[in-house]
Amino acid sequence: MSGQKINIEFIESIRTSLSLKNWIYDNSDRKVEIVSEELTHSHLFKNFNIDLDILEYYCIPTRDLLSEKEFQELVKSGFVGKQETALYPYSNIIYGAYYSRSDLYMKLLGLTNEERPKKINGIEINYFSDLIPYFKEYATGFEDGFNNFDETQIKPYLTLLAEKEDYINKVFDFVTKNIFLGNSWAYSRKGFVTNQNDEIIKAFENGQEQGYFYKAWSIIFSNSVLFANLFKELVKSQKNIDSCQINDNEFLKGKIKLKFVPQYDDGYYEVTKGDEKRKFSLIKYFEICLGNSTAFIDCLKSKEDKIKATNNAIFDLQKDHYDNDHPEILRLIEKNINYLKNSITCIESNFKEGVQHQHNDLQELKENKTNAIIELETENDLVLSTIEDWLYEFKDENVLLEKDYKTLVEALKQYFDIGEFPKLKYKIKVKKINKKRFGWALNEIFRANKDNNEKLPMEYLEFASEYISIFKNVSFDKIDYLKSNLYKYFTTKIN
């Protein structure tokens, strides 16, 4: 990954990736293990029943990173779950240390719109690998925080006669407290700290803070039953407050006073309406504003009124764009402007015949356009045709039924498009067949779409082991997967 340039496409993949990525830069970090397997969050999720209220609070830092539209796309691809908990907070490992998804996303986003580029050891940051010195120091801090959480964050604040309940309350307080400019789980997004020379500093402190949080959540997940009531009351109280308030969409209509608060680098909007104030994440604010604008436009009757209102909305956003320099705000404004510009084309098409259509017809037009584009892309998609060429014979022989064939094709297509497989609701059933023959076909699909000399990656085999029925009982050792029987089935060609 040394050649991975830090650009918007890469940063967006950090924001939305569902898989846990372990970035490998040299042989020295392949054996690094700061968190033992039994204390990793992924292991605890698989082996313990985690209370839903605990999980909901755990995902607070990431619950506003995924838009409604993006979540619906996930659901269509087979994702099962709630939007609020779709993205887990820790999605990247570098030199054995775990990184907060929202924090890393915000740090990288800040690098793309800087008048004065940030540096490490005098080198400007352009590629992800340019951050290796930061990653190494962060890992040292993460290890310190993870290993010394109890000694530094809990025990000094317990009485001499402290009981188990006191310890539980202290751990709970650590992850739920909100301290101004201090450690806060709910607002754990912070940009890179630099000195007067624009050199990135405080990597150790950044890692130490996340090490504390990671260990705290490992303790909570390991003892979910003991913490459940505390989180249940906390989440319930927050929902009760929300239920007493008017809908956010209505709140943002009419005369409001807007204030950007850069408290945690990414910041948020504080909106005042009358005597009431509310906080909105940037993503949520712009999503609601776009929804309010389009709802108003849809209620207008004439083509001229609709286009005029749309252009007015675009003009207001362009003024906001001119007055802002925050990278995330600029990105969201541009996203809304592009949506509104595209909607003008839909409005003009809708009135082309001189017939006014209602809102549902406009939606249908948009969907038809989208489907037409998708169909056109599909016809010319070499990746898709390669996958289908290799798998069609199994469908033709009834080894794969239509539903399973489509599921496997779509899963492989997603993998080669964005680098990760979807989470499926059910296993792909493959009828009795020589495992080496089927494995070899999957191997050839990989070779056709990736480097022909590249070894099959573990996630490729892991997907087959978990979701393709004929490989369910084939031995697969993740630690030394290249010597596993599953790898042999994929790389042995039969005549």
Q: Are residues 330 and 387 in the same domain?
A: no
Cβ neighbours of residue 380 closer than 8 Å, sequence gap 6 or more: none
Q: Are residues 227 and 102 in the same domain?
A: yes
Checking if the pLDDT of 348 tops 70, the result is: yes
| Domain-located, residue 307 | yes
The C-alpha atoms of residue 192 and residue 186 are separated, in whole angstroms, by: 18
Q: Are residues 401 and 344 in the same domain?
A: no
Q: Give the pLDDT of residue 124.
A: 93
Q: Are residues 355 and 409 in the same domain?
A: no
For 273, other C-beta atoms within 10 Å of its C-beta total 16
Q: Give the pLDDT of residue 95.
A: 93
Q: Are residues 307 and 443 in the same domain?
A: no
Q: Are residues 85 and 218 in the same domain?
A: yes
Q: Are residues 211 and 299 in the same domain?
A: no
Q: Are residues 302 and 393 in the same domain?
A: no
| Domain-located, residue 272 | no
| Domain-located, residue 251 | no
Domain residues for the domain of 456 are 381-491
Percent of the chain scoring above 90 in pLDDT: 32
Q: Give the pLDDT of residue 328.
A: 80
- Mark which of 241, 275, 301 sits at the end of a domain: 241
| Domain-located, residue 264 | no
Q: Are residues 366 and 392 in the same domain?
A: no
| Domain-located, residue 252 | no
Q: Tell me the residue length of the chain.
A: 495
Q: Are residues 106 and 18 in the same domain?
A: yes
- Mark which of 184, 218, 241 sits at the end of a domain: 241
Checking if the pLDDT of 406 tops 60, the result is: yes
| Domain-located, residue 271 | no
Q: Give the pLDDT of residue 354.
A: 47
- pLDDT tens readout for residues 56-113: 999 988 988 888 888 898 888 888 888 889 999 999 999 999 999 999 998 998 887 6
Q: Give the pLDDT of residue 338.
A: 84
The C-alpha atoms of residue 347 and residue 304 are separated, in whole angstroms, by: 9
Cβ neighbours of residue 203 closer than 8 Å, sequence gap 6 or more: 133, 134, 135, 137, 138, 141
Range in 121-125, 335-339, 404-408, 437-441 with the lowest mean pLDDT? 335-339
**If you average pLDDT over residues 449-468, what whole number do you get?**
83
Q: How confident is the model at residue 254 (pLDDT cuts 50, 70, 90)?
A: confident
Torsion sign over Cα 277, 281, 282, 285 = negative
Q: Are residues 311 and 235 in the same domain?
A: no
The C-alpha atoms of residue 43 and residue 332 are separated, in whole angstroms, by: 35
Q: Are residues 218 and 315 in the same domain?
A: no
What's the number of domains the chain is made of?
Answer: 3
| Domain-located, residue 121 | yes
- Mark which of 208, 241, 274 sits at the end of a domain: 241
Task: Kindly report each contact of residues 483-487 with a partner whose C-beta sits within 8 Å and lies 24 or more positions away, as own/partner.
Answer: 486/439, 486/461, 487/456, 487/461
Q: How confident is the model at residue 26 (pLDDT cuts 50, 70, 90)?
A: low
